[in-house]
Structure 1
Amino acid sequence: MARAKNGLYGPLNGTVGNLVFYQLNGEQVVRVKRAALLKPSEGRMKEVQGDFSEVMKVVKAVSHFARVGFYDLAEGRMAFQKALSANLLRYRAAEDKEQLRWLLVSEGQRAGAKELMAGFTDDVSLAISWGAAMQDMEWSDDDLAMLMAINTRSLETSINLATFRRHHHSAILKLPPLQPGDTLQCFLSFHSPLSPDNTIKLENISESQSFELVFPI
């Protein structure tokens, strides 16, 4: 049985069905045991397994972005698992689980941007703009502006990690397939992939910023 150390939504240790929760270097880690014959899940176990399955689907859909976004937090190892663990905790703690508002696709201490704005340019493109860097944090005009849009219904994504720079202050992103009324969650992170000493550190990437748009009916 898994137990939370710090309340209902704190770090877990133990097993829930075929999920194994434990702490490694002070961080929550989730593992899936090999397939085995298991008793039907009930109660709290069923709830946690359901949460894990939901988060796993989403993190798989955004894995191309998240593997970069969590690389430094994971110290260069198992970035996907780090993204999964972080988002499972966020999902379980979130009061609002709709429209992927709990999703984080990068985590770090580099400066994000102020004054995010976005809008549809046509049926196939999204225009995104951003202002000055957040204060008192590392940043560079040459930071990569990493962009992603995900259809919250189908989990289809459009990702661009390397075309735009912070100093551009705007970008055009191709839309994933959408139907009228679909909700789009859009994400922006800033990344300095080539630090002078090639050091893995949280200051290499910003925490992802997100905004939500509804495709016109």
Structure 2
Amino acid sequence: MALASNGPQGHLNGKVGNLVFYMLNGQPVVRLIGRKGKPSRLQLANYQAMEVTMKLLNRMGSFIKLGYGLQAKGTVQNAHNLATSYHKKEALQGEYPNISIDYSKVMLSRGVMPETKDLKIEKVAGGLEISWDPTHSSELQHNDSVMVMICTPETNNDREYLNIARRSEGKCFIPMYEEALNQQIEPYISFISADGERISDSVYLGNLNGLGENKTEKAAKEKYQQVKARFDQVEGNYLGQLKENHGSKPNSKAFKYLEKEYKVLKNQLVHLPGKPG
């Protein structure tokens, strides 16, 4: 049952049939509920795109809160909503079931502060050194804070540095053990004013050490190879029996089981992630 707390002309709150009415960020919302049918390939692609996006953003929550907070200010959106919308549309690559992050298109902050010049990153003894032009102006203040995000997709042991240095310092150092320093690294930098009222677009500093594989990707590839090996075995047997019967299907229970397994495995290979290439 839904209630109209503000009278018959007010917004409903609750359930009516297969509709649910509620308030979200001060706005009246209604959504449909009910049993879902078998999802289409397009729906499955949308589910995976959202899952990949959420896994990325959940690893950098504090950075996103600052990076999109000013953009969300005065709207019914929040920082996470805005970041989700951008990354789901702009920062994904590949097709279902192999959708992944394009780290070169990740944007951890969006704002009006001009981009800082001469941004560089390099591996040095014991860690990473990031440098920039420390020159300040009316738009780039000497006391602007430097924000750095180090993404490590292979281990998901990411690091957020929300106030690692001041613009005037011109560089910062991030200590890392050798093993971590030699894995896939995706680094980003942003600048935010001391009063928190202005922020720059984040800048991708470029991939270090090439592309690696995280635990999920490795497990997906292993699973795919296992199913593929079984499918190749079943397919050979299935096609062999068809050939022996000149293209006709044998009328036996054993062949029916074989055909069922053949179709199930073939369908699994279409939808399983981890496919080579």
Q: TM-score, normalised by structure 2?
A: 0.55
The offset of 1:75, in angstroms, is 0.8
SS of 1:153 mapped into structure 2:
coil
The offset of 1:214, in angstroms, is 2.7
Residue 115 of structure 2: aligned partner:
112
Residue 47 of structure 1: aligned partner:
45
Residues 202-217 of structure 1: pairs in structure 2 closer than 5 A = 204-215=198-209
Distance change (3 Å), C-alpha of 1:86 and 1:176: farther
CA distance in 1, matches of 2:163, 2:63: 11
Q: Does the aligned pair in 1 maintain the 2:136–2:142 contact within 8 Å?
A: no
Q: Does the aligned pair in 2 maintain the 1:178–1:215 contact within 8 Å?
A: no
How many residues were matched structurally? 178
Residue 154 of structure 1: aligned partner:
155
- What runs of 5+ residues in structure 1 fail to find an aligned partner? 1-23, 25-30
CA distance in 1, matches of 2:188, 2:103: 11
The offset of 1:98, in angstroms, is 5.2
The offset of 1:40, in angstroms, is 3.4
Residues 22-101 of structure 1: pairs in structure 2 closer than 5 A = 38-75=36-73, 78-92=78-92, 100-101=103-104
- What runs of 5+ residues in structure 2 fail to find an aligned partner? 1-24, 211-277
Q: State the Cα RMSD in Å.
A: 3.6
Residue 3 of structure 1: aligned partner:
none
Q: Does the aligned pair in 2 maintain the 1:143–1:192 contact within 8 Å?
A: yes
The offset of 1:99, in angstroms, is 5.4
Distance change (3 Å), C-alpha of 1:82 and 1:179: same
Report % sequence identity. 18
The offset of 1:103, in angstroms, is 1.1
Q: Which moved more, 1:89-98 or 1:169-178?
A: 89-98
Residue 165 of structure 1: aligned partner:
166
Q: Which has the higher helix share?
A: 2
Residue 142 of structure 2: aligned partner:
141
Cα displacement string for residues 121-160 of structure 1 (whole angstroms, at most 9, x for unaligned residues): 234x21100125699x822111001111110223221121
Q: Which has the higher strand share?
A: 1
Distance change (3 Å), C-alpha of 1:168 and 1:108: same
Cα displacement string for residues 165-206 of structure 1 (whole angstroms, at most 9, x for unaligned residues): 1111100123489557522111110001416xxxx5xxx000
SS of 1:52 mapped into structure 2:
helix
Distance change (3 Å), C-alpha of 1:56 and 1:209: same
Q: Which amino acid aligns with 2:130?
A: I
Residue 239 of structure 2: aligned partner:
none
The offset of 1:35, in angstroms, is 9.6
Distance change (3 Å), C-alpha of 1:44 and 1:99: closer
Q: Which amino acid aligns with 1:74?
A: A
SS of 1:51 mapped into structure 2:
helix
CA distance in 2, matches of 1:212, 1:155: 17
Cα displacement string for residues 75-108 of structure 1 (whole angstroms, at most 9, x for unaligned residues): 1662122111111121258999555222110001
Q: Does the aligned pair in 1 maintain the 2:91–2:101 contact within 8 Å?
A: no
CA distance in 2, matches of 1:214, 1:158: 15
SS of 1:72 mapped into structure 2:
helix
Distance change (3 Å), C-alpha of 1:179 and 1:132: closer
